């Protein structure tokens, strides 16, 4: 055998394992895992046979090696919302015979919370704008359907999840109107280690469910802080939010008007004043305040058209003109 033949034989011998691997079914996680395509960047799995895929993931979660369990969780996350129902069915079918059931239940909760956070994320704007208005969470509640209550309670109580979305979940529970959510909201509201904003929104949810005392406590605290320092912007906004949720609109208006005297250039104060006046059925005053906020620099056009507080003003010519003003390109030297 000449040197050229020897080189050909060696090359084939060295490359044959790689050729076989390419021809063999992809094994992105662990044989016989069906998720190689998912793990190398495909956006969506094939829906057909998803129950078998979920069962394989659940099996990986029972493995003794934490690396394999992590791969199982990663595969489930890639499957996303589509994996929730098959995984629930598997848990119900297997019952207590399911190995490492706690790990599988934890993986299911992660999928559910990811789903809820994704839906709440749709209520944001590109600028990160997010506010509150009556009925704001209805699209999320409609999407989560019968699963809404237990998913939202878990989200509110999860300290590692996004704070703003936890706050929105607390308000959504208030909108949902189920009194069985009261114990979970009370647990969050009573937790002294919890962030104040989450505790406050838990109090708002409780107020909507017929438990007014926690929100009254928020009002007392915030009122004392404002009395101590009227320039305390956080205390002002906290008190205004509580008044607004209690539907004490006149108090809310007076608070914003007093705050504007102290901080006349703050567009958010004029904007929130406009929201409150619109809800009160005072279109002229609301549009005056909205115009003022835009002149002071308010620029989140997307949030303005999403904000349900202005639903009664959509057909008003002044409102339309203000929208056009916001959309118009800015000119001049900044």
**Residue extents of the structural domains in the chain:** 25-121, 125-211, 244-327
Residue carrying structure tokens 């509580």: 242
Instruction: Using the Cα atoms of residue 42, residue 126, residue 115 and residue 103 in order, give the sign of their dihedral.
Output: positive
Residue 265: CB atoms within 10 A of its CB come to 9
In the CATH scheme, what architecture does the domain 125-211 have?
A: Alpha Horseshoe (1.25)
Residue range 279-310, pLDDT digits in tens:
999 999 999 999 999 999 999 998 999 999 99
Percentage of the chain exceeding pLDDT 90: 66
What is residue 34's predicted lDDT score, i.e. its pLDDT?
46
How far is residue 158 from each of residues 163, 168, 202, measured CA to CA in Å?
9, 13, 13
Percentage of the chain exceeding pLDDT 70: 82
Residue range 113-144, pLDDT digits in tens:
999 999 999 887 766 566 788 899 999 999 99
* Mean pLDDT, rounded, for 59-81: 90
Residue range 226-242, pLDDT digits in tens:
999 999 999 999 999 99
Question: What CATH number belongs to 244-327?
Answer: 1.25.40
**Phi, psi angle pair for 79, to nearest 5°:** -70, -35
Mean pLDDT (the chain) is 85
Q: For residue 269, is pLDDT > 70?
A: yes
Q: What is the pTM of this model?
A: 0.80
Q: Residue 10, exposed/middle/buried by CB under 10 A (0-12, 13-18, 19+)?
A: exposed
Residue range 321-330, pLDDT digits in tens:
999 988 876 6
């Amino acid at each position: 055998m000449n040197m050229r033949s020897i080189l050909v034989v060696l090359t084939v011998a060295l490359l044959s394992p790689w050729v076989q691997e390419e021809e063999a079914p992809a094994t992105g996680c662990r044989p016989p895992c069906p998720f190689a395509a998912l793990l190398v960047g495909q956006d969506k799995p094939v829906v057909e046979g998803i129950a078998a895929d979920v069962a394989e993931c659940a099996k990986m979660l029972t493995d003794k090696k934490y690396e394999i369990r992590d791969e199982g969780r990663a595969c489930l996350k890639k499957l996303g919302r589509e994996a929730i129902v098959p995984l629930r069915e598997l848990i119900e079918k297997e019952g207590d015979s399911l190995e490492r059931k706690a790990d599988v239940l934890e993986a299911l909760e992660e999928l559910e919370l990811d789903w809820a956070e994704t839906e709440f994320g749709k209520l944001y704007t590109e600028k990160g704008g997010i506010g509150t208005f009556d009925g704001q969470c209805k699209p999320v509640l409609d999407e989560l359907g019968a699963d809404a209550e237990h998913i939202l309670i878990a989200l509110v109580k999860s300290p590692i999840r996004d704070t703003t979305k936890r706050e929105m979940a607390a308000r959504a529970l208030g909108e949902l109107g189920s009194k069985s959510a009261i114990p979970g909201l009370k647990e969050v509201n009573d937790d002294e280690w919890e962030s104040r904003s989450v505790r406050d929104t838990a109090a708002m949810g409780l107020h909507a469910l017929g438990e007014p005392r926690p929100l009254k406590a928020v009002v007392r605290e915030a009122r004392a802080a404002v009395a101590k320092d009227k320039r305390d912007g956080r205390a002002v906004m906290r008190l205004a939010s509580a008044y607004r949720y209690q539907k004490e609109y006149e108090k809310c208006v007076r608070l914003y008007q007093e705050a504007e005297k102290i901080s006349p250039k703050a567009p958010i104060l004029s904007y929130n004043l406009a929201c409150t006046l619109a809800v009160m059925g005072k279109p002229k005053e609301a549009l005056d305040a909205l115009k003022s906020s835009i002149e002071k620099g308010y620029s989140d056009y997307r949030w303005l058209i999403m904000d349900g507080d202005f639903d009664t003003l959509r057909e008003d010519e002044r409102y339309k003109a203000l929208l056009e003003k916001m959309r118009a390109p800015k000119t001049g030297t900044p």
